[in-house]
Amino acid sequence: MSACERDTPPAHIAGPLLRWFDDHGRHDLPWQHPRSAYRVWVAEIMLQQTQVVTVVDYFNAFMTRFPDIQTLAAADNDAVMAHWAGLGYYARARNLHAAAKRVVAEHGGRFPTSVEQLMRLPGIGRSTAGAIVAQAFGIWAPILDGNAKRVIARLAAVTETPGTAAFEKPLWRLAERYTPNRRITDYTQAIMDLGATVCTRARPQCTRCPLHKDCLAARYDLQPRIPAPRKRKARPQREVTVIVASDDQGRILLEKRPPSGIWGGLWSLPEQEADLSIVAFCRHRLGIEIEPGARLSPIAHAFTHFELLIHPQKVQVIGSARIMDSSLQWYARDRLPGLPAPMARVLDTHQHAFAL
């Protein structure tokens, strides 16, 4: 048994962590003022796999459009997805909308105050539920988001692979031990802040950490190995052709994507089916006669599990362009709905080519 395995992680961390938080924590995040259950919930969902610096502007815009859960529940899907466009991981937005409807229908618009009840809502797991009750209601509940996992894993020198029971179970036990009975709201924010700003994945600033002297990873120089990197598989590459169709008014034809899958529920440029020519696809699928234009330079976009190469194909509509399919719609270029980020890049990158 190594010296590291014989050592034990610190018994308590709340005291030094809270003292650090008072001086160095983040106290002016928009969802903290006011810190309602609705605002905390929206922020926590947005912050899943997304950094604070990216989320802030999206959060503020979302709150302006959907200031309370009743407004969100009553909104149509297009409005919600438009305000999420660019944040990625669109299942989060679909779950957010569905959960809002459930809270209004089943709880009279008031958020449940228990972790168990919150976890019954779409898109809310144990850590997100804990963050909501701790920050919005001051109720004791441990959290284990990505930042808290990294902090606790390094404190205890947990070297197992993330996502496995051998990694998760000891971390939840420690999270429960470390969560104090007082200042629960501050503690929850503090451990997230420490992971985000000091105990970072790369180049952690250990000399600034209030827990440094008791951290087993720091003691044995294990920070680069914790959390252990997941084995990465080579990401497959996919290619798709998208149609940028302009009518005689300069409008762009968009297609609403299915509710599930990539960019589910968003308006996007139509994707050409591989077994049809451009002319046949536009005639039979989009209901328009076209004059093919230039095939423009591709746009690359990386997803978690694959890489996508998008080939934009410019076409000009011939004659009338009346669309009978409700999943297709013409949009003026200055009134486009929220688009998936890569499709917005297609239009921004090649806007000179789309001018009449």
Per-residue model confidence (pLDDT) at position 321: 65
Q: Please report, for residues 3, 45, 288, 334, the alpha-carbon distance to residue 97 in angstroms, rounded to integers and kept in the order given.
A: 50, 11, 34, 27
In tens, the pLDDT along 208-255 reads: 999 999 999 999 999 999 998 877 777 888 888 999 998 888 889 999
What's the CATH number for 237-354?
Answer: 3.90.79.10
Q: Are 80 and 72 in contact (CB under 8 A)?
A: yes
Q: What is the pLDDT of residues 24-59, one digit of tens each?
A: 999 999 999 999 999 999 999 999 989 999 999 999
* Residue 166: predicted pLDDT: 93
pLDDT score at 356: 44
Report pLDDT digits (tens) over 146-190. 999 999 999 999 999 998 999 999 999 999 999 999 999 999 999
Residues in the chain, overall count: 356
Instruction: Give me the residue spans of the domains in the chain.
Output: 3-225, 237-354
> Whole-prediction pTM value?
0.82
User: Among 203-217, 300-314, 316-330, which stretch is predicted with the lowest mean pLDDT?
Assistant: 316-330
Q: Which fold has domain 3-225?
A: Endonuclease III; domain 1 (1.10.340)
Reduce the secondary structure of 211-247 to three states and give it as a string: CHHHCHHHHCCCHHHCCCCCCCCCCCEEEEEEEEEEC
Closest alpha carbon to 135 in 43, 243, 23: 43
For residue 255, which amino acid is it? E
What would the pLDDT profile of 250-269 be if each residue is shown by its tens digit? 889 999 988 878 888 889 99
Q: Which amino acid is at 269?
A: L
Which residue type sits at 30?
P
Between 322 and 133, residue with greater pLDDT: 133
Residue 222 CA to residue 199 CA, distance in Å, equals: 13
Q: First-to-last CA distance in the chain?
A: 73
d(CA 271, CA 257): 10
Catalytic residues: 44
Give the chain's mean pLDDT.
Answer: 91
Q: Using alpha carbons only, how large is the chain's radius of gyration in Å?
A: 24
Q: How many CA atoms lie within 13 A of 185 on its CB side?
A: 12
Which one-letter DSSP state was computed for residue 271? B
